[in-house]
Chain A
Amino acid sequence: GAGVSQSPSNKVTEKGKDVELRCDPISGHTALYWYRQSLGQGLEFLIYFQGNSAPDKSGLPSDRFSAERTGGSVSTLTIQRTQQEDSAVYLCASSLGSMKGTDTQYFGPGTRLTVL
């Protein structure tokens, strides 16, 4: 079946511009995660959505970052007034259950963001 998809696969933008990154989770998965992976680094947790509950935003690095999940499915990560340090691969994952720290996460291929 279809896995997690993300778009665009690559995004180049200029410093100060806003960007939107999209994630389509696996159908039926109630949980959705966003991560950031800087070059050669590990995964940095950003935000977690579970069903209709309020999202866990504990990993968002600044108020320039926000995310929405409409209708319990597609999610959009928005970065306002992008900075060069925002350059990274942004990964989305989804999971079937509601156990945030133990559910198997299925990752998308990521969006590579480059801020010039």
Chain B
Amino acid sequence: LAKTTQPISMDSYEGQEVNITCSHNNIATNDYITWYQQFPSQGPRFIIQGYKTKVTNEVASLFIPADRKSSTLSLPRVSLSDTAVYYCLVGGPNQGGKLIFGQGTELSVKP
């Protein structure tokens, strides 16, 4: 099972780009990387998913280097409403056993 490691917390200011990295040294060939966002008192919400290189959607980009041992979630021009906890999940289509989320990165965006 791929174990993930993320920074516990990050601070940023409105309008800045924020990059959150997740380490997953023993990622398996079939594993994908998925990021979720969680606001207080809510369940997590899907942000983005990727397998390799770069993926971009309307809210974020995901950068995955060739060795896939890490991934970086990039949030462009953050606002106060981006203050949340961000989790990475590494898993494959036929994942056996537990699904293991990272411990989460608490992002605090300040005015």
Binding site for B on A (CB under 8 A): 4, 33, 41-43, 45, 48, 56, 58-59, 91, 93, 99-102, 104-110
Contact = CB atoms under 8 A, between A and B. Distances in A.
Interface residues of B, number: 28
30 contacts: A33-B99, A42-B103, A43-B44, A45-B99, A45-B100, A48-B99, A56-B96, A56-B97, A58-B96, A58-B97, A59-B98, A91-B44, A93-B43, A99-B93, A100-B99, A101-B31, A101-B89, A101-B90, A101-B92, A101-B99, A102-B34, A102-B91, A102-B92, A104-B34, A104-B46, A105-B36, A105-B44, A108-B43, A109-B41, A109-B43
Contact of A107 (B43, B94, B97, B99): B43
A4 B92 contact: no
Interface string B61-87: 000000000000000000000000001
Contacts of B34: 102, 104
A58 B95 CA distance: 12
A13 B10 CA distance: 36
Give the most central of A33, A101, A104: most B CB within 10 Å. Answer: A101
B49 A4 contact: no
